[in-house]
Amino acid sequence: MKIDANKLSNSAADNSFISLMGGANGITEIPISQLTETENQPFYVLDDERMDALVEDIKINGVLEPILVIQENDKYRILAGHRRTHASKLAGKESMPCIIKNVKSGTEKLIITNTNLTQRKEFLPSELARAYQMQLEGYQELDAHPVRTTAQIAEDNNVSKRTVQYYLKLNNLNWTMIELVDKGIMTVKAGAALSMLSFEQQDFVCKYIIKNKLKKVDEEDAKVIASEDEVTNELLNDLFFPNKKEDELRYDTYIVNHTEFDSFLFKTRQDIIYLDNSKKLKDSIVLKKKDYVKIQKAQAKIEEQLQLIKQLIAKA
């Protein structure tokens, strides 16, 4: 889900970083083969319709605005202009107009973030999360006052301090969950609320959302999940499908084939419960509803533990 960030382009930020971005003086043509990307920069370079339009514009008009780079040995690392560089490659250009900067690491981070945040209109939540984090690190490296740092980021981007805090928390999500936020299935505030869960619990919630094809998880849902000591199928079913249990458990007794139950102990994954309300099966027992529910919970717990064992084996 793209975030309209017209409000992020503001005079305060422009004025703060105009000197860092440089002017028309000192422009150097550098071969594209000598340009390298900044690793872990927060913004995506996508081959989408906007990229196609940029490629066509460069073919016709060339690169009108120089990119900002920093020299590293015989290479030049891009600080601002990753999309223009990629588009120039696609347009068949062999060199780029560049302004070579000589700045500290903290200032680098602020150039990378602010040149994008003040020039682009739309961002994915994950891009804003990483950009605010990089801004935070940049200010910290420049010895900004800790109490004022988040407020300064909010001021630079013309948003509230609380908004910055929500986005910063998204950096504590695993990749699957941040993708759910980007797709709009999970709100930014919901993602922030779930950021306190362990990666294991986040993975459990993500699989549940995907398996059940949930279309929306809002902040209130997330707060309920985050408030529990343990995230279980029962908790999530109660939250997202409150009427499901009544539909499934509509009988007073249930028949369980205990032969299949015994065989489950020797299998990695096996459905152990078979229901039949019309006749008694051979090698079966009749359970009251409360006992049947206990078996369901036990089965779910066993499956969770088996899943954990699989993950541990995969990492070994």
Cα separation of 167 and 180, whole Å?
14
Please report which confidence band the pLDDT of residue 306 belongs to, taking 50, 70 and 90 as the band edges.
confident
pLDDT at residue 13, rounded to an integer: 43
Choice between 64 and 286, residue whose per-residue pLDDT is larger: 64
Give the residue with greater pLDDT, 316 vs 264.
Answer: 316
Three-state secondary structure readout of 124-151: CHHHHHHHHHHHHHHHHHCCCCHHHHHH
Instruction: Please report the pLDDT score of residue 15 as a whole number.
Output: 42
Per-domain residue ranges of the chain? 3-169, 173-245, 249-315
pLDDT at 14: 42
Which residues fall within 8 angstroms of residue 165, CB to CB, at 6 or more apart? 150, 192
Nearest to 32 by CA among 73, 84, 80: 84
Query: How many angstroms separate the Cα of 309 from the Cα of each of 152, 268, 304, 312?
Result: 45, 10, 9, 5
Among 92-96, 274-278, 305-309, which is the least confidently predicted range?
274-278
Residue 88 has pLDDT above 50, yes or no: yes
Architecture of domain 3-169: Alpha-Beta Complex (3.90)
Mean local confidence (pLDDT), 177-206: 96
Burial class (CB in 10 A: 0-12, 13-18, 19+), 124: buried
pLDDT at 23: 44
Contacts of 251 (CB under 8 A, 6+ apart): 277, 289
pLDDT digits (tens, 9 = 90+) for 114-153: 988 888 778 999 999 999 999 999 999 998 887 789 999 9
Position with higher pLDDT, 3 vs 187: 187
The span from the CA of 49 to the CA of 33, in Å, is 25
Q: Model's pTM, two decimal places?
A: 0.68
Closest listed residue to residue 274, CA positions, set 263, 261, 262, 264: 261
Residues 6+ apart with CB under 8 A from 163: 154
Give which of 97, 101, 94, 98 is closest to 32, Cα–Cα. 94
Per-residue pLDDT averaged across 37-44, rounded? 92
- Highest-confidence segment of 15-29, 102-116, 245-259: 102-116
H runs (alpha helix) in the chain = 11-21, 49-61, 82-90, 105-117, 125-141, 146-157, 161-169, 175-182, 188-194, 199-211, 219-227, 233-240, 244-248, 258-264, 289-315
**CA separation for the pair 243, 234 (Å, rounded):** 12
pLDDT above 60 for 25: no
Print burial letters for 207-231: b (CB count within 10 Å at least 16), e (below 16). ebbeeeebeebebebbeebbeeeeb
CB-based contact 194:205 (threshold 8 Å): yes
pLDDT of residue 144: 83
* Residue pLDDT, tens place only, 149-183: 999 999 999 999 999 999 999 999 999 999 999 99
User: Is residue 281's pLDDT more than 80?
Assistant: no
- What integer pLDDT is reported at residue 265 of this predicted model? 46
Nearest-Å Rg of the Cα atoms of the chain is 27
Q: Is the pLDDT of residue 270 over 60?
A: no
Of 212 and 316, the structure prediction assigns the larger pLDDT to 212
